[in-house]
Structure 1
Amino acid sequence: MRKLFGLGIFLIASVVSGASQTATPPSTEVMKVGIVGLVHGHVESFLGGGNLNPAGSILKRPDTELVGVVEPDGALFDKYAQKYHLSPSLHFKSIAEMVSHAHPKAVLVFTPPSQHRRIVEESAALGVHVLMEKPLAFTYADALAMQGAAEKGHIHVLVDYETAWYTSNTEAVNLLQKGALGPIVKAVMRDGHEGPAKIHVQPEFLSWLIDPAQDGDGALTDFGCYGPNLMTWMMHGEAPISVTAVTKRLQPELYPKVSDEAEILLNYPHATAIVEGSWNWPFAVKQMDVYGATGYAKTIDSDRLDVRKRGDASPMSIHGAPLVAPYDDPLHYMEAVISGQIEEKADLSSLKNNVIVAEILDAARRSAESGKTVKLPLDK
């Protein structure tokens, strides 16, 4: 297992194994947060409530206060201000201006991945923590630069994935870590939907999703990140020894510059993972199959999974146990890590995990372009 970080670095993690979860009362302190960017459609779940933010809208939560929004597009800010009744006084021109006037403890980032490095570096210099929407980066160089900025600025950096809050995923990994499935042999992750154009994402969202300069390579970046994130969690922070990827453009009339189909093979010394990221599913799909030497767990959706162990005549369908605070949503978790209530590990939203995810995505793009397997670690 490669060690990516030295002693003393402060990072941040996401959901940890339910086997080690202990309910911790959420802090009574109100956490001041700012938003940076409104062009990522997932901002709707944080402003209006949704499955990306299980505890509900940040505008109605007693534990969170929105103190500012940095968005260069005035018309876009006005659209959200009208929809969610945001005061014009919340609009700032820059992170520095917002921090100087409103003093947020953390910023929530809803920009293209290409802007993540700049935002983390600016925030780290100001001592402000960061929660961003996945992925951390699509280049290994940017991920390492953010790691360095976080260490230098002593800030926490969290990467939010919808699947981090799926009780089915946590239940499956609990079974694996308890030994109920035997040692891991293989995992298959399927993530995606019909494609951003066909599900009619916001125009400002679509414009950068299909721009390789802003988002890497379409479905490879958008949905190819989920599987490596989950596999790195299950492998306790171990990176694969090689990555092989194949990408396709099955809808070139909609996505002429990026791939809409990505298959990624992660090779470990004693296990393999198959990652299927697609903008061509007939409907939204987020599923994970975990195969151990003596059983399997297959998640059906965010809550349900099928489990079959050696000797069972058929699989048993179960529901994942409810997640307990502060492991139940990204803002509870971020506040708990910032305040020191939780010890970080190589879990789903951790910087350690997501630097590896960025390395895998970078290797996958190189593999798809060259038609060759790419060995890790990548050159820095």
Structure 2
Amino acid sequence: MKKLLLIAFAIITQIAPVASQEKKDAPLRVGVVGLVHGHVGWILSNEKKSNIEIVGIVEPNKELARRLTKQHGLSMDIVFDTIEEMDEAVHPEAVNAFNSTFDHLETVRYCAPKGIHVMVEKPLAVSWEHAKEMVELARKHNIHLLTNYETSWYGSNHKAYDLIIKEKAIGQMRKINFHTGHFGPIEIGCGDEFLEWLTDPVLNGGGALMDFGCYGANISTWLMSGKTPISVTCTTSSFKPSKYPKVEDDATIVLQYPDTEVTIQASWNWPHHVKDMEVFGATGFVKCKNGTDMELMTDEKIGPSSLKANDLPKGENDPFAIFKKVVHENYKLPAYDLTSLENAQIVVQILEAAKISSKEGKTVLWKNLYPENK
């Protein structure tokens, strides 16, 4: 008997790595929930690159579904009216939510008890109330709940992190400035299905503040290793009320930390597309002009030098690849990673505090608003 057990154990230990490799090589079977987000083309055209397989799409707007499936060479046979219908028919391992931010909660409410992992487009939720329930559901049912921000895949941001945090190249961070936005969603030609919820204060939770304020909140939380600010101050403006009558089209958020001040300028009023970052330390600065181009100064007498950031390594260079790695390879994201749940919930708290500050016309103290995690 003992000999048989040893033989069985040997067989199992030989098979286990093979099964693990099979899982690693197999595409992640994903469902796409909603086609109303303007970034949905990112996943519809990305199957081979990220080693995923789109097994189902949830979109009741059949005209929209026909247009996008034809554009990306997908079949209408995998399009369903509801997430329940899709799950019953194709049983996805994970879903990517490209619906309104308000609908993220309902997506998690369905998926979490079913053990279906979820990645949403930024930000995690329209409010802290929604976010709290989503976090509780994810933890209760042990699913991965990730948030995708475009800037998470910028090589420049990762190189800046290494220079600032790992190499201490510019000393203690003093000021961080973010400029994020563009001409405006109407001006750049966003589709009607996107504008319908993006410019709605309920479905998007706000306007430019939510749409672009989340980037700076996300990256600063990462750079600050998950520390929360002492206070949040925000002013909002409506420069184009005829175009955006329901929501603000410009926001400036100031986060005060013990030794660092963060300014986030989020706008639908820039004269160009911009997602940049400036980090000023005690002894120098790092500037990320875009996803690749950078400047570094460590000695004012020498002056700044230009840098080019490398692309992120394969398997970690886009949201769907990292989602697969997390689900199939049990990859553990670093603490307060850009796509992580703990980062995403702080982002929502910052945005909520910013909205309250703007509405009340005063600085909001973090400890008063969030006593549970001051």
TM-score by length of 2: 0.89
Deviation at 1:193, TM superposition (A): 0.2
The residue correspondences of 1:1-380 to structure 2 (distance < 5 A) are 27-48=24-45, 57-58=46-47, 60-61=48-49, 63-177=51-165, 178-338=167-327, 339-377=329-367, 378-379=369-370
Alpha-carbon contact 1:187-1:289 (below 8 Å) kept: yes
How many residues in Structure 1 have an aligned counterpart in Structure 2? 346
* Structure 1 stretches lacking a partner, 5+ long: 1-25, 49-56
Task: Tell me which amino acid in the other structure corresponds to 2:287.
Answer: K
Deviation at 1:251, TM superposition (A): 0.6
TM-score by length of 1: 0.88
**SS of corresponding position for 1:223:** helix
Alpha-carbon contact 1:337-1:344 (below 8 Å) kept: no
**SS of corresponding position for 1:224:** helix
Deviation at 1:186, TM superposition (A): 1.2
* Structure 2 stretches lacking a partner, 5+ long: 1-22
Bigger fraction of residues in helix: 2
Decide which structure has the larger Cα Rg and report it.
2
C-alpha distance in structure 1 between counterparts of 2:348 and 2:229, whole Å: 12
Q: Deviations over 1:143-181 (max 9, x none)?
A: 111100100111001111110000111111110012111
Deviation at 1:312, TM superposition (A): 4.1
Task: Tell me which amino acid in the other structure corresponds to 2:237.
Answer: K
Deviation at 1:94, TM superposition (A): 2.0
Alpha-carbon contact 1:192-1:286 (below 8 Å) kept: yes
C-alpha distance in structure 2 between counterparts of 1:348 and 1:362, whole Å: 19
Deviation at 1:343, TM superposition (A): 4.2
**SS of corresponding position for 2:138:** helix
Structure with greater contact order relative to length (CA < 8 Å, sep ≥ 6): 1
C-alpha distance in structure 2 between counterparts of 1:237 and 1:259, whole Å: 28
Task: Tell me which amino acid in the other structure corresponds to 1:158.
Answer: L
C-alpha distance in structure 2 between counterparts of 1:79 and 1:188, whole Å: 40
Q: Deviations over 1:179-203 (max 9, x none)?
A: 1111111100110000001001011
Task: Tell me which amino acid in the other structure corresponds to 1:88.
Answer: M
Alpha-carbon contact 2:52-2:324 (below 8 Å) kept: no
**SS of corresponding position for 1:264:** strand
Task: Tell me which amino acid in the other structure corresponds to 1:290.
Answer: V
Cα 1:252/1:347, change in 2 over 3 Å? same
Identity level (%): 41
**SS of corresponding position for 1:131:** strand
C-alpha distance in structure 2 between counterparts of 1:322 and 1:103, whole Å: 34
Q: Deviations over 1:95-141 (max 9, x none)?
A: 22222221211101111111111111211011101111101113111
Deviation at 1:311, TM superposition (A): 4.5
**SS of corresponding position for 2:125:** coil
Alpha-carbon contact 1:96-1:126 (below 8 Å) kept: no
